[in-house]
Amino acid sequence: MHRIVKAEFLNDTVKRFEVEVPDIARSRKAGQFVIIRLGENGERVPLTIADSSSGAGTITLIVQEVGKTTFFMNKLEENDFIPDIVGPLGKPTHIENFGTAVCVGGGIGTAVVMPIAKALKEAGNKVISIIGFKSKDLLILENEINEISDEVIITTDDGSYGKKGFVTQPLQDMFGNCMKIGVVYAIGPMVMMHNVVMVTKPHNLLTYVSLNPIMVDGTGMCGGCRVTVDNQMKFACVDGPEFDGHKVDFEELIARLDTYKSMEKDSYSRIKEEYCKCES
């Protein structure tokens, strides 16, 4: 059982938690994730560790409500408990001084790219962050990203904040300005990562993506998270979650993400309905 020491909404559907898991707080590195389970009937859900404090023995998780488990997760408050947390899982991000590093975060992916940006900064990189959201009301972590970046560009699809458009536009512009970039980290929805990779590919610019395929155990045992990278089968949980984006078969990955879509959607709407009935 792990106590939540702090819980706050970052927008209507995204909540930040600080949870006591001292052994993980001490051992985790940027880019690694945990798997949580909320109870006896619960599923195992992978979540990236956004930050940690080894002093306080806490890790930070940022959760967007997208289904049944995250619906209940975001109902949790300070001093509630998360029964199962296992980690740190996956390989840590490859961090070195690349000169200039561009960190691209799309939506909730901003929470995942944040620890990487922080680690890149600490390794001496000039960090340019591009974070994108559908609209201003979904914006998260602006201050945190500002703190750890040398430069921040914010985009919104509808133009309600920052630049109008997608995260790929400012990246394109950088190439137009002949800016020297050492590496790109792109984390967000699959389609966004795919688009970023398409932008950087003609420039042959090393681009890491963090993949979140369907996962069960997170220790390489089930093979559910297999992805094709460089025409080879890799398990995102133990070989990843980060891979060279230019080598990832996104089409296959995007199709596989939909495996349980209709079942999960039903389960989510059923639970919302029941919950609303109880509330009223």
Partner 1 sequence: MAEKKKKAPKVPRQKMSEQDPLIRANNFDEVPLGYTPDQAMLEANRCLFCKKQPCVKGCPVDIDIPGFVKLIAQGQFLGAAQKVKEKNILPAICGRVCPQEEQCEKYCSLSKKFGSVAIGRLERFVADYERELGEVQVPEIAPPTGKKVAIIGSGPTGLTTAFDLAKLGHKVTVYEALHEPGGVLIYGIPEFRLPKDIVRAEVDILKKMGVEIKVNYVIGKIFTIDDLFNKGYDAVYIGTGAGLPYFMNIPGENLIGIYSANEFLTRVNLMRAFDFPAFDTPVLDFRKAVVFGGGNVAMDSVRTALRLGADTATNMYRRTRKEMPARIEEIEHAEEEGVLFEYLVAPTRFIGDDKGKLKAVECLRMELGEPDSSGRRRPVPVKGSEFETECDIAIVAIGNGANPLIQAETPQLATNKWGNILTGGPDGRTNMKGVFAGGDIVIGAATVILAMGAGREAAKSIHEYLFDVTWEKEPENLDLAEDTV
# residues contacting partner 1 (CB under 8 A):
41
By CB under 8 A, residue 85 contacts partner 1: yes
Residues contacting 176, CB < 8 A, separation 6+: none
Using CB under 8 A, which of 89, 102, 205, 229 touches partner 1?
Answer: 89
By CB under 8 A, residue 160 contacts partner 1: no
Stretch that binds partner 1, among 47-55, 87-95, 139-147, 183-191 (CB under 8 A): 87-95
Using CB under 8 A, which of 3, 5, 11, 37 touches partner 1?
Answer: 37
* Helix/strand/coil for 257: helix
Per-residue binder mask for partner 1 (CB under 8 A), 46-75, x = binder: ----------------------xx------
> Is the previous residue joined to 88 through a cis bond, with omega within 30 degrees of 0?
yes
Window 96 to 115, contacts with partner 1 (CB under 8 A): none
For residues 31 and 92, the answer to whether their CB atoms sit within 8 Å is yes
Buried residues in 49-83 as b, exposed as e (16+ CB within 10 A): bbbbeeeebbbbbbbbbebbbbbebbebeeeeebe
CB of 234 to partner 1, least distance (A): 11
Which residue lies nearer to partner 1 by CB, 170 or 241? 241
Alpha helices of 8-154 — where are they, by DSSP H? 22-27, 68-73, 109-122, 142-148
Using CB under 8 A, which of 76, 198, 206, 216 touches partner 1?
Answer: 216
Using CB under 8 A, which of 134, 137, 220, 273 touches partner 1?
Answer: 220
Alpha helices of 159-249 — where are they, by DSSP H? 168-176, 190-200, 236-239
> Is the previous residue joined to 170 through a cis bond, with omega within 30 degrees of 0?
no
- Burial of 41 per CB tally in 10 Å (0-12, 13-18, 19+): exposed
Which residue lies nearer to partner 1 by CB, 173 or 274? 274
Using CB under 8 A, which of 66, 221, 272, 275 touches partner 1?
Answer: 221
Which residue lies nearer to partner 1 by CB, 166 or 243? 243
Stretch that binds partner 1, among 20-28, 54-62, 101-109, 135-143 (CB under 8 A): 20-28
- Positions touching partner 1 (CB under 8 A) are 23-24, 27, 37, 41-44, 68-69, 84-89, 216-224, 226-228, 233, 238, 252, 255-256, 258-260, 263-264, 266-267, 270
